[in-house]
Amino acid sequence: MIIKSFGAAKNVTGSCHLLTDDKDDANIMVDCGLFQERDFEDKNYELGFDPKKVDYLILTHAHIDHCGRIPFLVKNGFKGQILCTKPTYQLSKVLLLDTGKIIFENYKYELKKSLRKNEKKPELLYDESDVLNSFDFFNPVLEYNKPYNLKSGFVIEIRDAGHILGSSFVKIKKGDGSVIFSGDLGNKEKPIVKNFEYPDEADVVYTETTYGDRNHRSFQESKEEFLAAITDTLKNNGNVLIPSYATERAQDILYLLREFYEQGLLPECKVFLDSPLALSVTDIFVQNLSYFKEDKIPLFKKGDPFDFPYLNIVRDTEESKQINNVSGRAIIIAGSGMLHGGRILHHLKHNIWKKENAVIFVGYQAKGTLGRLIVEKEKKVSILGESFKVNAQIYTINGFSSHADQNELMEWITAVKTKPQKVCLIHGDENVMKVYKSKLEEKGFIVHIPDYGEEIGF
């Protein structure tokens, strides 16, 4: 079998791996995500392979860096099946529609700019109609620990990756050859979804390495840090901005804020969830209770565990603009998580230059994103074409990450009884991968870091 990576190879986003057998009988893809790092965005327009020849796309989970190029794949002739779990399908639909809109808005903006400057017209990656077309190809039949037969003798089996609702890692087998793709592995301390399961033997394991170089603070410490950042800001009549994707992280954050509220720890304030998607996502959560940690199920059965009196859900852009009239003591949760686009950018424009405000990052910020620049203490940043001074307080709470840390990544891979012939590192910054590589080598693993498009045979 031969595997080539066309994304998340020596970078974090754009996950996309293609497996073919020696006879070229079946072409199986794992994930087809959007590149979100600024330096890699051009790669979104080149797939690197013929989409018409792909028979199956196995989708590990609904994050855009794993599913965000599916409409582009379909637009370019993909006719195969997209295999995933039911929640992955439900969440992908919501997230892709949103992404389709953002891509189209950005395109219109760039087009106007190019016309004004008499420059080359930008290319539209895809729009809402391409997103709608792509839904016809989804086949959400995969269930954890149940083998599923593909053509030409391939068998796949997924297990819970413990990362977001419905997330999985997958083993692909044919005869006595096998490979595992980790997808994104979860942080075991996360409050709602179950923990990851462990892999069994395979010839080759592809593993994500997002946090391969470090360990998270404990969840409890992170909760305390989070509460302190909020209380300090509200005390000074500032606003708190929390960049977050609409799914999962936003729910985790609301879950915590509700908990703080019930414990009497949250000062009086207005919490805005500025996301039209949030309601549909909560519905999807409630329809999939079997994916949650046992002790959390009763809470969902009792009602909406994300709701509390300070919470306002913002649906349309008009309402979103009005948040800016609230002077102080507001907590605003909006996407996108890495400040790659979305409504959060408008809130940043209004808040980032005032020192009483705070931006609290609760998720990974990939290299080359605006989020990363701010986290790395850049003093001046460009937001929607305008330059702003960063005067607001910047906090990073890494214990809320939905990714496994170094110890957890190690725990997952060392659970295999017989070592694979090779471990391939993907979905990470290259310098992070190097740190994790030497950790694995200390344990006797043979490790390789594939390049974009490099052939890995076994």
Q: Which residues of the chain form contacts with Zn ion (CB under 5 A)?
A: 63, 65, 184
Compute the least distance from the CB of residue 399 to Zn ion, in Å.
Answer: 17
Q: Which residues does 348 contact at the CB level (< 8 Å), separation at least 6? A: 241, 339, 359, 383, 388
Compute the least distance from the CB of residue 183 to Zn ion, in Å.
Answer: 7
Q: How many CB atoms lie under 10 A from the CB of residue 371? A: 23
Compute the least distance from the CB of residue 312 to Zn ion, in Å.
Answer: 28
Nearer to Zn ion, 14 or 305 (CB): 14
Compute the least distance from the CB of residue 445 to Zn ion, in Å.
Answer: 22
Compute the least distance from the CB of residue 112 to Zn ion, in Å.
Answer: 32
CA 66 from centroid of its chain's CA atoms: 7
DSSP 144: B
Nearer to Zn ion, 68 or 238 (CB): 68
Nearer to Zn ion, 63 or 367 (CB): 63
Compute the least distance from the CB of residue 92 to Zn ion, in Å.
Answer: 12
Nearer to Zn ion, 67 or 241 (CB): 67
Measure Cα distances from 213 to 98, 198, 219, 439 in Å: 32, 21, 18, 9
Nearer to Zn ion, 163 or 347 (CB): 163
CA atoms within 13 A on the CB side of 356: 12
State the Cα–Cα distance between residues 455 and 452, nearest whole angstrom: 9
H helix or E strand, kind and range, residue 436 = helix 430-442
Closest by alpha carbon to 357, among 233, 456, 249, 273? 233
Nearer to Zn ion, 34 or 374 (CB): 34
Q: Which residues does 172 contact at the CB level (< 8 Å), separation at least 6? A: 19, 28, 30, 58, 154, 155, 156, 178, 179, 180, 181
Compute the least distance from the CB of residue 143 to Zn ion, in Å.
Answer: 20
Write b or e for each residue in 327-337: b if 16 or more Cβ atoms lie within 10 A of its Cβ, otherwise e. Answer: eebbbbbbbbb
Nearer to Zn ion, 154 or 181 (CB): 181
Nearer to Zn ion, 63 or 69 (CB): 63
Compute the least distance from the CB of residue 237 to Zn ion, in Å.
Answer: 36
Compute the least distance from the CB of residue 239 to Zn ion, in Å.
Answer: 28
344 near 239, Cβ under 8 Å?
no
Strands (E), 72-128: 81-83
**Residue 7: helix, strand or coil by DSSP?**
coil
State the Cα–Cα distance between residues 72 and 34, nearest whole angstrom: 10
Nearer to Zn ion, 163 or 258 (CB): 163
